[in-house]
Amino acid sequence: MKYLNFIFAYYILFGLSAFTGKAYGQEIRYFDPHGKRDVNSILTEHRSISRINDNKFNNDTVESTANLPDIDLWYEGGGGLDFSSNPNDPKYIQYHSIALNYDKKYLVSMRYTVQYNKIDEIGGLYHFHSTRRFGTISAGAGIGVIWGVHDKDTFTTVGLPIELKAFFTPVRYFGIGLGFITNINPEIIRTYVSFNIRLGKLF
């Protein structure tokens, strides 16, 4: 009778240990009811698919960021003396400009100048340019409107603004340079050399 009880207890314990997956020190093994696969292999496959999707997302994000255009934008301001109208009485000219360089290829600007509070000009220009690590040279032309008082007469006309510039840019956000500035129009041709500074994202 004792032996029967011992055998019965042994089989009860054996069944419980097998049910918990720890019989004979073996780990639990689960099976896919459809494919009869080990769950561990299924989880490994799912992790691999997840890593592939994550890598694809990261690559797509990097590619979309790399495809964004590179835009430089800066303000340029300064001034110079205009000797063209009267060499014995040069006029001080203020110069202001906003420039945008799109994708390092297309440089456009909008300039506004004031001559001795008597003649104003506003114009848009397209520039051919060459940029190096510490400097930029450019030549630009466009179309503009000029108005004011000349020889006691008030006028408004359309002109051709032209610029030649050379700038030293020791750092990315600051530059100093010289510009040859003129505006060809039917009323008065303004020509002067200006000393300007640039502030913004230059390259």
Spatial CB neighbours of 112, under 8 Å, sequence gap ≥ 6: 96, 97, 120, 121, 122
Spatial CB neighbours of 92, under 8 Å, sequence gap ≥ 6: 79, 80, 81, 82, 115, 116
The whole-number pLDDT of residue 89 equals 79
- The fraction of the chain above a pLDDT of 70, given in percent, is 66
In eight-state DSSP terms, residue 22 is -
Place of tokens 């800066």: 74
- The fraction of the chain above a pLDDT of 90, given in percent, is 46
Q: What CATH architecture does domain 71-200 belong to?
A: Beta Barrel (2.40)
Q: What confidence tens digit (pLDDT) does each residue in 120-177 have?
A: 999 999 999 988 888 999 999 999 999 998 888 899 999 999 999 999 999 989 999 9
Q: What is the mean pLDDT of residues 50-71?
A: 64
Contact in structure between 28 and 40 (CB atoms under 8 Å): no
Contact in structure between 179 and 53 (CB atoms under 8 Å): no
User: Given a cut of 90, is residue 191 above it in pLDDT?
Assistant: no
Cα–Cα dist 133/148, whole Å: 40
In eight-state DSSP terms, residue 85 is S
pTM tops 0.85, yes or no:
no
The whole-number pLDDT of residue 104 equals 82
In eight-state DSSP terms, residue 26 is P
Q: How confident is the model at residue 53 (pLDDT cuts 50, 70, 90)?
A: low
The whole-number pLDDT of residue 87 equals 75
What own/partner pairs with CB < 8 Å and gap ≥ 24 does 67-71 have?
69/102, 69/103, 70/103, 70/104, 71/100, 71/101, 71/102, 71/103, 71/201
The whole-number pLDDT of residue 200 equals 94
Which run of H or E residues covers position 189? Answer: none
User: Given a cut of 70, is residue 16 above it in pLDDT?
Assistant: no
User: Given a cut of 50, is residue 21 above it in pLDDT?
Assistant: no
- Average pLDDT, whole number, for the chain? 79
Contact in structure between 177 and 165 (CB atoms under 8 Å): yes
The whole-number pLDDT of residue 100 equals 95
Nearest of 158, 77, 83, 155 to residue 119 by alpha carbon: 155
Q: What confidence tens digit (pLDDT) does each residue in 100-123 have?
A: 999 888 999 999 999 876 899 999
The domain locations on the chain are 2-66, 71-200
The whole-number pLDDT of residue 1 equals 55
Residue bearing the bigger pLDDT, 181 or 11: 181
Q: Which two tokens stand for residue 34?
A: 């459809």
In the chain, the amino acid numbered 111 is R
SS3 104: coil
Cα–Cα dist 131/138, whole Å: 9
CA atoms within 13 A on the CB side of 186: 4
